[in-house]
Structure 1
Amino acid sequence: MIAAVSGGSKDPQAGGGDGREPITAAAVAAQVGGVLVGDGSIEVRGIAPLDRAGPNELSFLSHLRYGQWFATSRAGVVLISPELAELAGTPSTRIVVAKPVDAMVALLARFHRKEPRAQGVHSSAVIANDVRLGEGVTIDPFVVIGEGVVIGDGSWISAHAMIGAGSVLGRDVRVHSTAVVYPFTELGDRVTLHAGARVGREGFGFVPQANGVVRIPHAGRCILEHDVEVGANSCIDRGSVDDTIIGAGTKIDNLVQIAHNVRVGRGCFLASQAGVAGSTRIGDGVQIGGQVGIGGHVTIGAKANLAGGAGVIGNVPAGETWSGYPARAHRDHLRASAAIARLAKIVRPLEQLVSKPFSSSDGESRANSRADSRADSAPDESGT
């Protein structure tokens, strides 16, 4: 049975906080190491952007482009960069800090609304007899867990999720509602799978034969190392003859497809709708923009950047930024795009020139012109 739910309820009309005790502006300044200007006794109960923050909410300003919002903002306290500290605006209580965005991120955990969590196993869950559950594990309603599964301490499996037979989940793993972990998949500590994610399924591998198309058996594993996060409705295939491995700390957005035998390095970022074809190798620290398509059997060097929409059909050197289709060095792609833009301006005059009717007089004129040119270049009687 599920034990009592942890976490408290919250008034929906309250600010952006999670119901904890408010914090004063002076305490905020002390926590982020900033310089307080104004009333340090103002209570902060939530966080909001400048254009909708109220008198008991904290906001931030790090760039002049948002100066018009700052001018009329009702925010009670604003984190502000030193170069903008004297900017005219209605917020009178300001905390001057070198990096307002970083300071805001450090404070978000205090105001984050935590999802209520039960303790224990819900009676509607279907769990094989030999499953091993660690301490403090939560299994929500209608979860299905197959034979031989191991789930580490503190993990949380949400409603209607499925964990396939023989899978191993580390400590503090979070599997959200309707996510599916296929059989014999390995998830490291603190891995997060968001709703609808599918990891460890067989890849798109088929071989045409005389009697029809035959699916390739996938004997490889799907391994997600520590601190990997997989977005909603993203899919990661298991290996066919090799393992599919997602390196520690890599973050994958929603609607991403990673095919069989792919190796993704540590600390990579893959944005929404990116697709990685089979047996590709991606180095550490690579950043892949939205809707990037990567062909199979290519190598992306460490710390490379692929701009949104790039179509990668060849190897990308380490540390370079590539864009366009077919993808090339970003500067080369910009030059090519600029050349095409210039070409568009002269297409119509070129079409008019080549479509002009050709007459015999035009031919005689051109012939005479060539003859005159040859005569001008011939030597005279003196030989000069």
Structure 2
Amino acid sequence: MEVPLKELAELVDGEIIGEVELIISGVGGVENVAKGEITFAQSDEYLTKAESSLAAAVIVADEIESDKTLLKVDNPRLAFAKIAHEFEPELYKTNEIHSTAVIADDVECGSNVSIGPQVTIESGVSIGDNVRIAAGAHIGSQVKIGAETIIHPNVVIMHQTEVGNRVIIHPGAVIGSDGYGFETTSEGHYKVPQLGNVIIEDDVELGANVTIDRGTTGSTVIGRGTKTDNLVHIAHNVRIAADCLLVAQVGIAGSAEIGEGVTLAGKAGVVGHLEVGANTTVAAQSIITNDVPPDSFYSGYPAREHKSEMRIKAARRKLPAMVKELRELKKEVKSLKEEVKEG
């Protein structure tokens, strides 16, 4: 695939400094960019590497002296991402239904839908325009899938799930499995039926092997524009607002509420029935055990306001020396008591 640099400049509202008529054949990082491709430099260190690379052009934020053709933009990394999309392959796009797919008679499909080998789609499903469903996926009954959504191989979407427009679900994800609900009695653990569903709003991206449980009653909701990494677990009746970031191995217990724009770093956890306020960041491996106000930065186990946690950790590092000093003081006190007693 080849694209004129002028078209890419229009795409990212950039200014070309150098050879205007360049044709770009792809994208690459400064360390692996190939001849004819475009790269980006967001610091002086990377600019030095880019200038010595095979890149045909370099995306930069400032006008500089360079032998390379430059594409000047406000945000080089964002511009690179937008340009990279132009070269991204359209995986699974066939605009056909594979002969081995098993599809109920009443399934409603929009235009240009691509359904791969060994896909199963149950009764009552509706699928929007330009949806791509890859090999081995299972779509349960009464599921709704919005337009432009991409479902990667071996995804399972259980019954009554609602998936919005332009959603991306990566391989092995399971959406709408039963929540973990049991009532313990003298006779054992009695399963509580999970009668709700999952709602995934527009522009959500779910990583590989993500699991999202259906509501016990009502819905588990993933808000518009939220992105999850791989191996994230979201329990029943959790409500996640728009534009959240959930990094790998995050776990959110049942009925927790996550505000808009929250970032949960790797292996962070949230106890059930709590609220995490909007625009909060929770550091890696932290566990939220109480409600968190908006615009906070929490860390630790149990998680506290980050500055407080840092003071506690700093004090903790002094504990061995303090214990040693305390032992010495106890010896001195004991010695003084013996002297007083003898005197």
Same fold (TM over 0.5): yes
Root mean square deviation of aligned Cα = 2.6
Q: Aligned partners of 1:348, 1:73: CA distance in 2, in Å?
A: 57
Q: Which deviates more from structure 2 when the two are superposed, residues 254-263 or residues 93-102?
A: 93-102
Q: Which residue is equivalent to 1:77?
A: 57
The secondary structure found in structure 1 opposite 2:298 is strand
TM alignment of 1:146-225, pairs within 5 A: 146-225=122-201
Q: 1:181 to 1:54 in 2, by over 3 A?
A: closer
Q: 1:288 aligns with which of 260, 264, 276?
A: 264
Deviation string 1:252-283 (CA, Å, 9 cap, x unpaired) is 22100000111111121111110000011111
Letter in 2 for 1:23: P
How far residue 166 of structure 1 moved from its aligned partner, in angstroms, is 2.0
Amino acid at match of 1:85: I
Q: Could you give the per-residue CA deviations for residues 153-176 of structure 1, whole angstroms, max 9, x where no partner exists?
A: 222211110011222222222221
Rg (Cα) greater in structure: 1
| Pair 121,96 (structure 1): closer, same or farther in 2 beyond 3 Å | closer
| Deviation digits for residues 301-354 of structure 1 (CA, Å, limit 9, x no counterpart) | 122111221100110101111111111111111221222223344444444554
How far 1:249 sits from its partner (Å)? 1.7
SS at match of 1:121: coil
SS of residue paired to 2:202:
coil
SS at match of 2:189: strand
Per-residue Cα deviation, 1:183-212 (whole angstroms, up to 9, x for no partner): 121112222221110011111111111222
Looking at structure 2, the residues matched to 197 and 315 of structure 1 have their Cα atoms a distance apart, in angstroms, of 29
- The answer for the alignment partner of 2:89 in structure 1 is 113
Matched with 2:108 is 132
Among 268, 274, 281, which residue is 2:250 paired with?
274
Please show how residues 183-332 of structure 1 align to structure 2 within 5 Å. Answer: 183-332=159-308
The answer to whether the Cα contact below 8 Å between 1:205 and 1:215 also exists between their aligned partners in 2 is yes
Query: SS of 1:244's equivalent?
Result: strand
Give deviations 1:216-246, integer Å, cap 9, x for gaps: 0011121112222211100000011232111
Q: Is the 8 A contact 2:92 2:134 kept in 1?
A: no
> Does structure 1 residue 92 correspond to structure 2 residue 68?
yes
**Equivalent residue for 1:23?**
4
Taking a change above 3 Å as real, the CA distance of residues 256 and 116 of structure 1, as seen in their structure-2 partners, is closer
Q: Tell me how many residue pairs correspond in the alignment.
A: 343
Gaps of 5+ in 1: 1-18, 370-384
Question: Is the Cα–Cα contact under 8 Å of residues 36 and 54 in structure 2 kept in the other structure?
Answer: no
How much has 1:124 moved relative to structure 2? 0.9
Distance in 2 separating the partners of 1:222 and 1:245: 6
Q: In the aligned structure 2, how far is the partner of 1:136 from the partner of 1:55? A: 35
Q: Aligned letter for 1:58?
A: I
The 3-state SS of whatever aligns with 1:200 is strand
1:363 aligns with 2:337: yes
Task: Give the 3 Å change call, closer, same or farther, for CA 38–351 of structure 1 in structure 2.
Answer: farther
Matching residue's letter, 1:316: V
Kindly indicate whether the alpha-carbon contact (under 8 Å) linking 1:85 and 1:96 is maintained by their aligned counterparts in 2: no
The alignment partner of 1:223 has SS state of strand
Quick one: which amino acid aligns to residue 203 of structure 2? Answer: D
Structure 2 length-normalised TM: 0.90
- Match of 2:318, SS state, is helix
The structural deviation recorded for 1:40 is 3.7
Letter aligned with residue 118 of structure 2:
F
Which amino acid in the other structure matches residue 25 of structure 2? R
Structure-2 separation of matches of 1:34 and 1:153: 32
C-alpha spacing 1:109/1:366, structure 2 compared with 1 (3 Å): farther
Q: How far apart are the structure 2 equivalents of 1:226 and 1:42?
A: 36
Structure 2 gap ranges (5+): none
Tell me if structure 1 keeps the 8 A contact 2:213–2:220.
yes
Corresponding residue for residue 378 of structure 1: none
Q: How does 1:34-45 map to 2 (within 5 A)?
A: 34-45=14-25
**Equivalent residue letter for 2:57:** V
